[in-house]
Amino acid sequence: MLKRTLTIFSIVFLGTAIMSFKTKNMHDHHSIYDIHINSLMGDPIDLNEFKDKKILFVNVASECGFTPQYEDLQKLHEKYADQLVIIGVPCNQFGGQEPGDAKEISSFCKKNYGVTFLLTEKVDVKGANAHPLYKWLTDKHQNGVMDSEVKWNFQKYLVDQNGHWQEYFSSKVKPLSAELTAAIEK
């Protein structure tokens, strides 16, 4: 009788442990606000400061065919300043199109496009060394919504005002397009 009771207990305990593990891994996405990333000049960015606003993350590059999107990103930043934060994330993983250091990137963006929106440190957005921000943006187990892959410079990820993954847009979707502005206004 004791052996049978221990066996039943073991089965129940093991089953509970397995379900707990599966549930934790399926739903254990953390908040975007818990992620640490630095500004282009090395200062910590506290994403908590942007609660109650949508955030548009864009992996940017200075020598890309899509680089002129900086101009419209700046216009978007100005138009929706009360409800949207734009964060440009320099990345050199696509065609080596962001070779500059922090000062060169900052100077280029201000001089050529008048960029005043936030730029982060240069990071990887895909692969084994992807920054935790992009792991969250591209991994369903972390963002709770869907998997995606960053395919080129100027791909855009929109996070809603509650820190939930909302949508992503390919590089070809222009910042002032009806598709993107409708998602911001949603």
Domain 32-185 bears CATH identifier 3.40.30.10: yes
DSSP letter at 5 equals H
7: helix, coil or strand? helix
| Residue 11, pLDDT score | 54
pLDDT at 25: 44
* Domain definitions of the chain by residue range: 1-30, 32-185
Tell me the torsion sign for CA atoms 142, 37, 184, 73.
negative
Which pLDDT does position 18 carry in this prediction?
46
Active-site residue 109, yes or no? no
pLDDT at 21: 44
Q: Which two tokens stand for residue 32?
A: 């975007």
The per-residue DSSP string of 22-65 comes to HHHHHH-PPPGGG--EEBTTS-EE-GGGGTTSEEEEEEE-TTST
- State the pLDDT at residue 30: 82
Interacting residues of 129 by C-beta distance below 8 A, sequence separation 6+ = none
Query: What pLDDT score was predicted for residue 7?
Result: 54
pTM, entire model = 0.84
Digits of tens for pLDDT over the chain (186 positions)?
656 654 555 554 545 444 444 444 444 558 999 999 999 999 999 999 999 999 999 999 999 999 999 999 999 999 999 999 999 999 999 999 999 999 999 999 999 999 999 999 999 999 999 999 999 999 999 999 999 999 999 999 999 999 999 999 999 999 999 999 999 999
Separation of alpha carbons 103 and 96, rounded Å: 17
Single out the catalytic residue among 37, 47, 55, 64: 64
